[in-house]
Amino acid sequence: MHFELSEEQQMVVDSVRAFVEQEMMPHEEAVEQSGRLDPELRAQIRQKAIANGFYSAGMPEELGGGGLDQLTLALMNRELGRTSYAMQMQCGRPSNILQACVGAQREEYLLPAVRGDRVDCLALTEPDAGSDLRGMQCRAQRDGDDYVLNGTKHFISHADEADFAIVFAATGEVQTDDELVKRSGPRKKITAFLVDKGSPGFTVRDGYQSVSHRGYHNCILEFDHCRVPAGKILGEEHKGFDVANEWLASTRLEVAATCLGRADRALDIALNWAAERKQFGQSIGKYQGVSFKLADMKMRYEAAEMMTLRCAWKDDQGTASDSDYAMAKLMSSEMLAYVADEAIQILGGMGLMADFPLERIWRDARVERIWDGTSEIQRHIISRNMLRPLGA
Ligand SMILES: Cc1cc2nc3c(=O)[nH]c(=O)nc-3n(C[C@H](O)[C@H](O)[C@H](O)COP(=O)(O)OP(=O)(O)OC[C@H]3O[C@@H](n4cnc5c(N)ncnc54)[C@H](O)[C@@H]3O)c2cc1C
């Protein structure tokens, strides 16, 4: 077992870090102030990311992607995590679930998405179906060669920037009669569809104002008798969750790696402040009340980093379980919440001012314990994996 980065991995880390510092960080504040990333600037950053080989870095080379393994991708996402989502997402696309595209879908969705010509968004969550996705109401009914979609999705990230959506809808009901069905209604068979923006009956509306992620918006998607050809099913009918489980577990790894970058930046700011800020005639870092905070922040950061990179390594070996992804996401997102909060404490009042990126990191950190499965759901996954072999 060895823990050193290869030369190639170190090169990726250095070049992504330089890109983030030169091309992204200078624009962060303007985006925070205005709540939007200027479309021209967005296109410019994306083009540079493509030219540098950062865009689609995790996609296989034969599809035109960078072919990075999960460990190197996690290191890259850690670096991207040092900036805001509005910036970072100009690099980190497309959703790897598009690798489930077959036949004509590859030319129409997968390859343009890898090139950066078309942008996807992923639509699972509904107003009445968050953690309980099998209870979703959005449905797709077969009608000749088409399916007819009706329903609403909400909290859908960057649907305003996207050209098409990967939409999960109910195409049937599972015939069981257990407690859960009695309590919450029929469990659904779910199918994933590729739906173009501009399709009749498909509307994208502005979503909610969120405390996190200025310039990276969430949207509401409405489907009103929207016809989608059967050829636009991603995977197989009723097998939407199989596709999601195959490809989306690693998005938890992406969240975990992103949290590392955010925490690392917060820790840097707090450390420098502790060394330079003087009160009662000496650096505040000389007071144990502050220095012990730094020690705990660093220790938790390193633990989360280990767990995240180990999960990425296991993913590359094909041995990562859903519990590994859950632990990495849980550990890293909770570490970030702690580090961001303590960093603000070390800066005192200045920590809350927009003069430093800390208040943004603190705000943005909040969502990481909610999206891609809440902390409670991650704990459920981890404990289920422990208890199930014992028959409990
Ligand atoms: C900014 C933002 C962007 C998002 N982007 C997307 C996106 O692009 N695409 C998409 O599909 N979704 C997206 N989401 C949705 C996100 O994945 C959901 O918010 C998340 O899955 C939780 O669902 P919910 O908010 O409905 O909470 P709920 O499921 O209603 O949960 C509420 C609370 O109850 C707890 N709870 C629920 N069930 C259990 C249980 N069985 N055991 C213990 N506790 C439980 C939860 O942990 C939570 O604390 C986004 C959300 C946000 C906030």
Angstrom distance (rounded) from CA 164 to CA 198: 9
Tell the burial category of 145 from Cβ atoms under 10 Å away from its Cβ (0-12, 13-18, 19+): exposed
Examine the pLDDT at 181 and tell me if it is beyond 90.
no
Going from the Cα of 303 to the center of ligand 1, the distance in angstroms, rounded, reads 26
The pLDDT of residue 250: 86
> Of 121, 116, 217, which Cα lies nearest the Cα of 168?
121
Minimum-distance ligand 1 atom for the alpha carbon of 212: 1
In the chain, what are the domains?
7-99+107-115 (1.10.540.10), 119-234 (2.40.110.10), 242-390 (1.20.140.10)
Going from the Cα of 324 to the center of ligand 1, the distance in angstroms, rounded, reads 20
Q: pLDDT tens, 343-353?
A: 999 999 999 99
Ligand 1 atom 23: residue of nearest CA: 130
Share of the chain above pLDDT 90, in %: 92
The pLDDT of residue 180: 80
Minimum-distance ligand 1 atom for the alpha carbon of 377: 47
Contacts of residue 104, Cβ cutoff 8 Å, sequence gap at least 6: 231
Ligand 1 atom 41: residue of nearest CA: 377
What's the average model confidence in pLDDT over 5-25?
97
The residues with which 192 forms a beta bridge, in sequence order, are 168, 234
Ligand 1 atom 26: residue of nearest CA: 130
Going from the Cα of 370 to the center of ligand 1, the distance in angstroms, rounded, reads 6
> Are the C-beta atoms of 94 and 82 separated by less than 8 Å?
no
pLDDT band at 164 (very low <50, low <70, confident <90, very high): very high
Angstrom distance (rounded) from CA 124 to CA 244: 10
Q: Supply the mean pLDDT for the chain.
A: 95
| φ and ψ of 144, to 5 deg | 65, -125
Select from 93, 125, 152, 334 the residue to mutate for testing ligand 1; criterion: most ligand atoms less than 8 Å from CB.
125
Examine the pLDDT at 92 and tell me if it is beyond 80.
no
Q: Where is pLDDT greater, at 193 or 245?
A: 193
* Per-residue CA distances from 179 to 106, 186, 210, 293, 371 (Å): 41, 11, 35, 47, 27
The residues with which 140 forms a beta bridge, in sequence order, are 149
pTM of the model: 0.96
Please report which helix (H) or strand (E) contains residue 139, including its range: strand 139-143
Select from 88, 95, 131 the residue to mutate for testing ligand 1; criterion: most ligand atoms less than 8 Å from CB.
131
Select from 374, 377, 384 the residue to mutate for testing ligand 1; criterion: most ligand atoms less than 8 Å from CB.
374
Going from the Cα of 346 to the center of ligand 1, the distance in angstroms, rounded, reads 31
What's the average model confidence in pLDDT over 89-112?
94
The residues with which 188 forms a beta bridge, in sequence order, are 173
Pocket lining: 155 vs ligand 1, CB cutoff 6 Å: yes
Q: pLDDT tens, 309-341?
A: 999 999 999 999 999 999 999 999 999 999 999
Q: pLDDT tens, 241-298?
A: 999 999 888 899 999 999 999 999 999 999 999 999 999 999 999 999 999 999 999 9
Examine the pLDDT at 1 and tell me if it is beyond 80.
no
Pocket lining: 125 vs ligand 1, CB cutoff 6 Å: yes
Going from the Cα of 367 to the center of ligand 1, the distance in angstroms, rounded, reads 10
